[in-house]
Chain A
């Protein structure tokens, strides 16, 4: 058969129309409306990248309960007294005006995944073609019964969601007498930000060392060992805070004596002047109430090619709320990467194409051990078709050789750049 060029073009056009029916529709453009719930590291990134990568062809509505973004990463420096709330607070103005994201300050009270509608607390509902849920975490107060009331929660702080609690914990530390004890309790893994509690212990100790040198920091860890950057943290504690920080593994919190400011462990009660309880947590409540499949009744099960819920089509879930892939931490950096993976997949799906079959995500996490020196952990995760998840690349990633000031500068540079990557 001989086909001349004109015939081939004609045939190609028809063939392309046929091919469209069979899922080979390259070149078609994504359009539609995506609703994003939660404007943190995952959701804000997804919202911006959906607008940017679709050249504005996909409409995006972001529903966020807070008026401004407040970062959890770097918030330990506010608690330690070397940064202010203004340093970690960023507006949504650029998402609105530069990227054309419709930002609604409201709370999502319900999701009808079948009708593809989201219900809002202040009234009204939003229809979507695809939904992105980036709800973060909610605490399992049943595991710390004495902290169920709002009154108790205002006294014994978690400060594990940056905001008013961050300010309040700093105030408690400032009000504490020289010679007092600050105790922090860490839940069993997995929890948000594996190195975060150890970094906080360092930065509180750093504050005590200069301002209240007779004071102590007590780490009550439910886990059997330090969960991240172990050697580097233990070296910092030994070198910098020998008489200040005490680390107690296998110390699972059972409850709290609110009036006595005591952590109730299995065999003893540990009294503190400032008690900082990080309760066990799970995917944000909206995930569970929507009927998304959870693993261990806590974390959302997702398809790693698209971040889509494995039992609820059209709903993509990001960040700390998901059941993590092997060795993947719950971090802001990782949530940002989830946001990009989901944005790319959603644009393909809206254009009638399959998601990228070979996604890659990576993590970088810096922790300060004092006002200037930081340490990192990094990892790269590539999709593995055999296990249908992203697997850490062997031989890649790792931790700092030693704490250093260069990485302290890099940590602040990381923050400036990732905040811009999400919100500017």
Chain B
């Protein structure tokens, strides 16, 4: 039993170490949800309401767009200010989440 306990502890630690950047298994989902107010639940924006639908957008394309907003390379009315609030790792998780939405 002690061995089992040690193994349990080791599995816990391994899990924690592996998820140092994504501590919560749903971190990408949670971060992406902060965009949904404007861009629609799971990135499915209302058609014709003037907001980009992010669902199913290729990950690299979306990530580049977000990084360009963040650096100022891509002009915007508001996204340059919002993208600066997220780390590059968070933007990566957000782009990956939306790319996986059908």
Q: Taking beta carbons and an 8 Å cutoff, which residues of A are in contact with B?
A: 11-12, 14-16, 18-19, 22, 24, 26, 48-49, 52-53, 333, 336-337, 340-341, 344, 348, 355-362, 364, 376, 378-382, 393, 395-398, 400-401, 404, 406-407, 409-410, 412-414, 416-418, 420-421, 424
Contact = CB atoms under 8 A, between A and B. Distances in A.
Given A404-B77, A407-B77, A412-B49, A337 B11 contact: no
A24 to B, nearest CB: 4
Given A356-B26, A414-B51, 19 more contacts: A12-B11, A14-B4, A15-B4, A19-B11, A53-B26, A333-B37, A340-B34, A356-B30, A361-B34, A362-B82, A378-B78, A378-B81, A381-B85, A398-B81, A400-B77, A412-B50, A416-B46, A417-B38, A417-B46
Main SS at interface, chain B: helix
B8 interface: yes
Given A358-B24, A360-B86, A413-B51, A337 B37 contact: yes
A123 B100 CA distance: 46
A416 B5 contact: no
B27 A358 contact: yes
Q: Top 3 closest A-B pairs, CB basis?
A: A380-B85, A396-B85, A356-B24
A417 B51 contact: yes
A340 B51 contact: no
B77 A380 contact: no
Contacts of A357: 23-24
B23 A358 contact: yes
A413 B39 CA distance: 9
Contacts of A344: 24, 26, 29-30, 33
Contacts of A333: 37
A322 B14 CA distance: 37
B8 A421 contact: no
Contacts of B86: 360, 380
A424 B40 CA distance: 10
B7 interface: yes
Interface in B1-58: 4-5, 7-9, 11-12, 15, 23-27, 29-31, 33-34, 36-41, 45-46, 49-51
Nearest to A411: B50
B65 interface: no
B41 A18 contact: no
B90 A26 contact: no
16 contacts: A340-B34, A355-B24, A357-B24, A358-B24, A360-B34, A378-B81, A380-B85, A393-B84, A397-B82, A407-B77, A410-B77, A410-B78, A413-B51, A414-B37, A417-B39, A421-B40
B81 A18 contact: no
Most buried by B among A15, A333, A340: A15
A395 B71 CA distance: 12
A46 B31 CA distance: 15
Nearest to B27: A356
Most buried by A among B4, B27, B37, B39: B37
B69 to A, nearest CB: 11
Interface string B63-93: 0000000000000011001111110001000
A396 B4 CA distance: 48
A396 B84 contact: yes
Contact of A376 (B26, B31, B78): B78
Contact of A18 (B4, B26, B31): B4
A340 B11 contact: no
A336 B37 contact: yes
B11 A421 contact: no
A395 B84 contact: yes
Contacts of B27: 356, 358
A26 B15 contact: yes
A101 to B, nearest CB: 14
Nearest to B80: A398
A344 to B, nearest CB: 5
Contact of B85 (A22, A393, A420): A393
Given A417-B40, A417-B46, A359 B11 contact: no
Contacts of A52: 41
Nearest to A415: B49
